[in-house]
Structures are given as structure tokens and as C-alpha cells.
Amino acid sequence: MKDHFLVTGGARLEGAVRVNGAKNSVLKLMSAALLAEGTTVLTNCPEIADVPYMAEVLRGLGCEVELAGTTVTITTPETVEYNADFDAVRQFRASVCVLGPLTARRHRAVVALPGGDAIGSRPLDMHQSGLEKLGATTRIEHGCVVAEATELVGGKIKLDFPSVGATENILTAAVLAKGTTILDNAAREPEIVDLCAMLTEMGAGITGAGSNTITVTGVDRLRPTTHDVVGDRIVAGTWGYAAAMTQGDITVSGINPTHLHLVLEKLKLAGADVETYPTGFRVRQNRRPTAVDYQTLPFPGFPTDLQPMAIALCTVSDGMSVITENIFESRFRFVDEMTRLGADTSIDGHHVVIRGGRPLSSAPVWASDIRAGAGLVLAGLCADGVTQVNDVYHIDRGYPGFVEQLRALGADVRRVTGDEGR
């Protein structure tokens, strides 16, 4: 039987939490270890379900992977396999990030089309187009994306949209290509900067990380390295919203607050007192929040991964908010679950209008993805009664020790299995 959470409303969260490395970085760094023969060590890794999933993908490609708390050790053989099969990749979307490294190392990659969160279509067109401009041929065949090349040669690539996944796969292929690759309209997320930092430590020639244009000078081979994963800005932001929603006081460490500049500014507009430190921030909310409008955009815009938390905050705020989703068309599935809790919302295309201040009441709800699950838990903390959040395996994929951390901050939340507590 699937686990679920029972969330009792009414708690004010107060205390301190430390976030570990970013889910949106560690999985890509693990795949980058395929680029160099030898042993790569990643530290500050989050203890989430997706890490062992990625470990299984890498083992299927011939690597030895050891997981020890927040440290992941990957030993890559001289010759890696090129076929990432369906059983290994079907459970999570990030598995597609092995496409670039395999194309670079083996000049052949067969990667089953991945599964993951139900937040809308995320086609691989830009991934394939980028690899083709480096000299590969690609196709979709028998449920897999196939890339093949006699050799990879640098080129000029401009993305139609600053896709994080496409940027990652192009970068990890270009580092072993002959010549220079110029990638325009590249993603600027901190996780891209983290990947570029690790690749540079491995001997890659990369400039422009964090800007719209990244230049890669190919090298013959890379070496393994030891790398500390960047802090998880999405988990950190979730705790900031938890403080604002419960009129609480939470200090978050393990994160560069500049990675959350706009997120923290939005919390200030909602009435929170926000202090930043070199490695964290503090959010205090002493009154009912004020409604704020949001639109999700690529970094440095407001992250789509925090959109459910923004919606949840707006439902308990004074006033009306309009939230615009520009990244994933199906992310508003979360709104239907908020309606079960009594939220006053209406959807118009990729906008949702929220009339805040209406009391929330407990109900059974279902997580459709990692961030929706976390947002529903936060909403349950503000609802009358006990809210049952189902399909919490999604939350396990992005939030290490979520229940334990909530309880340490004063929440009444417990994890149960099967029919217990129904």
C-alpha cells in the first residue's frame, strides 16, 4: 500500500532547517561522471529517492555506484555501455541527462523516453537538435531516443527557449567535441552553473556559465573529480513559504540567498520580514499575508517549481492574486486539489485567479508531482482538521526527511502506510 501523510492544521512553524544539495543538480552531476574514467565523488547530496534511481541507471551503464549518506561515489569504467533501458529510466525525468555524456563518450546513446512528474509535455526536440548541430544523428525509435555520431564537432547552437535539460545535454556532449561550441540562449539556472563548475574541475574548457551565452572548447578527455553539490534553492524556498503561510519564523541555511532573490522579494511583498546571510536566510511572518501576483519564468525569474507554494500562500492571503504559468502547461492540476481544501480559484488558460482569505478545510488530496505534494502539505498546515495527502512518493523524490523536518519545526504531521489513519 502507498504511504500517505496526515497533516493536522493550526501549527505555527518555528526553528531552523539546513538544506542539502539540489535535486535539480545532483542527478545531472551523477550523469556527468560518465564522461571520465575513474572515481568521481559528490558530496552534500540530498538523500532523496531520485538519487538511488539515478544510481541504478549508472550501474546499468557499467558504473559502480556507492551511496553513503550525503556522499555518492561513482566509478566509471574505460568503456561504458550506451543503452539506458526503460526499467532504469521510467521512474524519473532527469534520466534523460545521460544522453549527452553517452553521445560524447561512446558516440552512441539509446535512452528510453523517461517518466516523472505529470506537469505537462517536455519534448526532447531541442536536445536532439543541439546534438545534431554537433554532428550526431538522432531519432525516436521503439520508445527510445537514439543518438549516433562518427565524431562530434563544435558548432554554433541557439536554443528556441532556455531549456535547462537541453542546455545540460548539449554541454555534456560539447566538452568532448572537437573545436569550439557556442551555445546561445542557454539556461542560466544555478544548477547549470554548478554543472559547468564540475565539468571545469574535470578539465573542460567552459566560459560564460550563468549568462545567456556559454562557450565550450572541447578537450580530448576529462578526469574524475570531487565536487560539492550546490544547495537546493527550491527546498529552501519551500521552507520560506512555509514560514509565511503559518505566520511562523524559519531560518534556512545551506543555500546562497542570491539564488532566491526574486522569491524572497515576493515574500517581502506578502508582508514577511526577510533577512539574508552569506549562506542562508530567515523568514518571519507576524500577520496574515498580503496577496501578490506571480508569473513563472526561467532563472532569474520566479521558478515554476515554487509555483504550487505561491498558490498555497495566496489562498491564505488577504486580497486577490493572479498567477501565470509560462513553463509547464499542466502544473495547474495542483489547483484542483487546492479546491478540495476550499480554495477560491478559477483557471483561465495559463492563468489562475485566487481570491484569498477564505478558510481552508481538511480533505483527502493527491500529489501529482514533487512540488505539488509539498504545496499540499503546507496548505494542510493551514486547514481546519486533518488533511490526508496521498501519493507522497512524489515528495520523497525531492524533499529529504520532509516529515521529520516539519515535526522539528512544530508541525503535527505523520506518515502512515495502507489503511492506517483513513
Detail the residues annotated as belonging to a binding site for UDP-N-acetyl-alpha-D-glucosamine. 93, 305, 327
Q: Helix 307-315 to helix 370-381 angle, to the nearest 10 degrees?
A: 20
Task: Report whether 241 contacts 303 (CB < 8 A).
Answer: no
Q: Distance from CA of residue 140 to its chain's centroid?
A: 25
Could you confirm whether 384 is annotated as catalytic? no
DSSP classification of residue 38? E
Task: Indicate the annotated binding residues.
Answer: 23-24, 93, 305, 327
Contacts 24+ apart (CB under 8 A), 263-272: 263/233, 263/237, 263/302, 263/303, 263/306, 264/240, 266/292, 266/294, 266/302, 266/310, 267/240, 267/241, 270/244, 270/313, 270/317, 271/244, 272/240, 272/243, 272/244
Positive or negative: CA dihedral 21, 27, 30, 32: negative
Catalytic residue among 50, 85, 117, 412: 117
Beta carbons within 10 angstroms of residue 68's beta carbon? 8
Task: Report whether 403 contacts 416 (CB < 8 A).
Answer: no
The residues, any chain, with a CB within 8 Å of residue 247's CB and separated by 6 or more, are 12, 285, 286, 287, 288
The residues, any chain, with a CB within 8 Å of residue 330's CB and separated by 6 or more, are 118, 119, 120, 121
- How far apart CA 288 and CA 49 sit, in angstroms, is 35
Catalytic residues: 117
